[in-house]
Chains A and B, each alone.
Chain A
């Protein structure tokens, strides 16, 4: 069905939280199921995990798994791709200036930069490693990566121009406007100066979409950047692409020139893109060990498979980065902020988590719980409007506000649901309106089908988007400040609701430049309180759910916490494909490895 679903899965993902996603929407998986190995690198002093030999984790083999949360690539150029899959893929092939050691906490480590200095919030110096070489291709000639590459990487995105000087659409152009200049005092040093201090700058450099592509190759493929080919992404990272074509399975092999000498553990991987369409095909492949793990939007399915084969598989639980969200158009029907506040309170988040995800999920404030540091702790959140455990109080207040603001006079209200969501949960069009009607004691709500690409996205900028319920874009890092600013500040590029609250503006401006973590957290908490007081100005964040993956014992990805007897493993909630690339491994000595197909590239 995921088919699914099927059909519907072709929307694109967006830059920030408020932009829309589809992609992996079939299974509702953002970049998930990155089962990550016990979060240590191969430092010899680390205590070995259960399946590690004294010499280190098992090496060799070809992994075959549904590695990415989507299989539709809109461009070979990570600078210009608006869909997430290209960026996700690049985490296995390319590198960033800095990267997350733990994406959930935001702890950083060097990637292309071996060390760096933060002079103040506006001045950064990066010292680039001297052992990074591009994959040998006719275009790159296997040359070394230098500070010039970094300079080009930033300036190109800032200017928004191709090599012939023509304008093009660059996904992060707006973000890079804040860079005043980039200097390369020597071949391996990059000095970046921002117009103003920005507390989120470093964090952004570690997000999954900040990988650094090869200049000559991007320029060669500029005109045809939508034609997908493995020649267009030469590697500096863990793997080289052997085959990357639209509609075909993707094959990658270990990159012998990767600068992390002990990595990756496996010899290569295959991503069978066709398995996305139907859980039947994927399940067959998984149970027969033709692919190494399996997940589904129905958490019961992997669970029943694990239970049917006791002792052979383990369970990994991961938060889904695509926040579930209700968008109410304040430019049209909901001009009075009391109306959106009423709906913010009327929506029974916990009941919907129960219904669609069998309880596997948790309510999210304006900053979702995945962004652990900045989110309001759930205990505290449960005493705030819209999140109260005592639903009666929320319902009473909601009704009051609804009546006072003239809600009934609005007539029929349509909360649309995108087809990608409906492919997975078709009953949504009955359940959501029923819930709202019952909560508010009215009969106004109904729900019909819509589409991200046809109706929602094109109408965001003109303020005529429909009210809708579904996924928003993926949480890309642990720091929400860029997104909050962009959505709620008058100068923000995604302020579709035309929010302009002076106190909120002051807080947003202070937060975005703040370099001290604790102070930043404090400011963001204050911001969230104002948002909740105002029904999140129609951008009603609801919850994030949890994905359950069934994994064969012989496979390990990068995990926040490995499995223990009777306990599921925990994956990173925020995208950690770069860690997975390094750390995924196959243990051929594990008894479950018997019967696994012999896979070659």
Chain B
């Protein structure tokens, strides 16, 4: 498992203990300048032999992509079979046992697992988060995360499934479409070097706890402000609240009250989920203690139903990605076509060197007049 952290002392210990119980052998953690005690936690687990600590200096923007790629490749060098790209506030829940055996059961021909993600909603209060945060969105519709087989040439700028690729020499041609119209001889369409095909099953889901209490919220906003994440226009409100010392008001708006929770459950978009809380509470203090049963304790009926729901949410995400890619491609193609049409309208030189125009030119005074009129009407509109 790889983690890129900065100031995560309130959740890091829970994260490592939880995933260790889920069968994760090694945590490669890139620390980007923590000052809040996160390093102490990491060094403790480093001595236990399950954390490999890398320090990555520089601004968040600079280290984001390069740092992720570096730790993902390091996982390959250290002999891991799968890399799970994780964040400090995200917990991978297996629906079919633990995370390790679930990944081990993926057939060889697949190399990447799409893990849909949900969020536990913010609640008032400031004490330890797992006891307080037990309501989550019913569906897993946040951008999914990915785990993939390790690969020496992995490249990623983000731990989402569509942002991970294997570096190749010629990645430009995704398919051989148009047979026979490229002039080549009869040949293969297969590209054997294509790695990391998405698995057709979705046995893992990600539980996300982005906002856990007012203290953590304030620290997170302050950090975001420091690294320039609040500069954009749509975040001006948050920035103003920070500068005017009104973050507590904002937090009161962000957190859901008991009434909100009841309404959300009635409307069907929220559910109570105490599985995670109970699992974490049952994780052994010592690293070699027996892990809690997790989803192994589920009835087969429940497992089947939850797998089915998760599959739908995964297909929702994949459909969105596919559609976004398609419309983007179409916009690019339309742009090229418009340029071509424009180029065709431009005057061309014929063989004698004379300019060729589609229409006769109007006399100069008339051109001046119509031009001025056009400019005026454009200016008005």
A binds B: no
Q: Give chain B's interface residues, CB within 8 Å of chain A.
A: none
